[in-house]
A = this chain, B = another copy of it.
Amino acid sequence: MNIDMIHAAAARLRGHVVETPLLFSPGIDAIAGRRVFVKAEAVQVTGSFKARGGWSAISALPPEIRARGVIAFSSGNHAQGVARAAASFDIPAVIIMPSDAPRAKIEGTRALGAEVVLYDRVQESREEIGETLARDRGLTLIRPYDEPQVIAGQGTTGLEIARQAAAFGITDGEVLVCCGGGGLTSGIALALEAEAPSMRVRPVEPQGFDDVARSLASGRIERNAAATGSICDAVLTPAPGEITFPIMHRLCGPGLAVTDAEARRAVAAAARHLNLVVEPGGAIALAAALYHGDRIAGDHVIVTASGGNIDKSLLIDILMEET
């Protein structure tokens, strides 16, 4: 893993994904008490940054391997990123998704032409199912985060952050990243190490699922006690990855954690002040900026709004409860 892989991924992605904007709003700044810049991956094609990693990994495969098809396991955003890239390359895609994934994500993945296989998040291992299917059908497994070309793809977000922040005169400060297995976090950290070394990446997780924060504190990979129990489905991975953790340990931290209630309020704030639909797991970095400002240093902060694939009923519910 190095910065050259991220630049190479950026070249492959050009013209195939959206260069998402770095947003800001006086209303958001007023709540946070500092300037907040929001990297809006919720408007990325497929509704999350996972379109980058999916495209990066599939475009990097040798053509004869790629032609046999790909397989992925995902709570939904990686699913859509891989399915969309596979559809563009006109190759088969099998996606293994938890049966309790948001309907918007399951339907979105099917609409992109993928074959969806549902599994039980608590009783079954998605890794085992994926590896068996991959072997039987000759499919290439595209891991959601512990895969160098996926990390390189997510890292292109960091290249854009460095360039876009510089246009606002920002070259330092904290960068809060919504963190599951650490693909986006480690990718952005590698990109910023090269392009904006005075910025520091801090992972943000849901309370009770702060495996990355605890791993960074202890210096070794720690696991979450539970697999479910937060509305932030996009970031409920069991532990940081074997590849992502050493990168995060070298470059990131300390971690932050927010409650589901704070994530909901951040979803409402993004809709109101940024005109952005963000899902709870994609709103936790904004939630940390808005409601945990005392744990952040500096007069400005950059956050990722990593995805927006929220069920419509939950979005309506959150908009209605906002006072």
Q: Which residues of A contact B (CB under 8 A)?
A: 14-15, 18-27, 30, 40, 42-43, 45, 47, 84, 87, 108, 111-112, 164, 167-169, 271-272, 274-278, 308-309, 312, 315-316, 319-320, 322
Query: Copy number in this complex?
Result: 2
With A26-B111, A26-B112, A167-B14 in contact, is A276–B84 under 8 Å at CB? no
Instruction: Point out the residues of chain B lying under 8 angstroms from A87, CB to CB.
Output: 26
CB-CB under 8 A for A42 and B275, given A18-B24, A22-B18, A27-B111: yes
- Shortest Cβ distance from A320 into B: residue: B316
How far, in Å, is A173 (CB) from chain B's closest CB? 16
Chosen A-B contacts, 23 in total, with CB atoms closer than 8 Å, are A14-B167, A18-B21, A18-B23, A19-B164, A19-B167, A23-B43, A23-B45, A25-B45, A26-B45, A26-B87, A27-B108, A30-B111, A42-B275, A272-B312, A275-B277, A275-B278, A275-B308, A275-B309, A276-B277, A312-B322, A315-B319, A316-B319, A319-B319
Which residue of B has the minimal Cβ distance to A273?
B47
Of B43, B108, B272, B309, which one neighbours A43 at CB under 8 angstroms?
B43
A316 to B313, CA, bound (A): 10
**Inter-chain contacts of A18 with B (CB < 8 A):** 21-24
CA distance A27 to B87 in the complex (A): 13
Distance between Cα atoms of A277 and B318 in the complex (Å): 14
Contact B169 A15 (CB under 8 A): yes
Q: Which residues of the other chain, B, contact A40 by a CB distance below 8 angstroms?
A: 21, 43
Identify the interface centre among A18, A20, A30, A40: most chain B CB within 10 Å of its CB.
A18
Most interface-central of A274, A278, A322 (chain B CB within 10 A):
A274
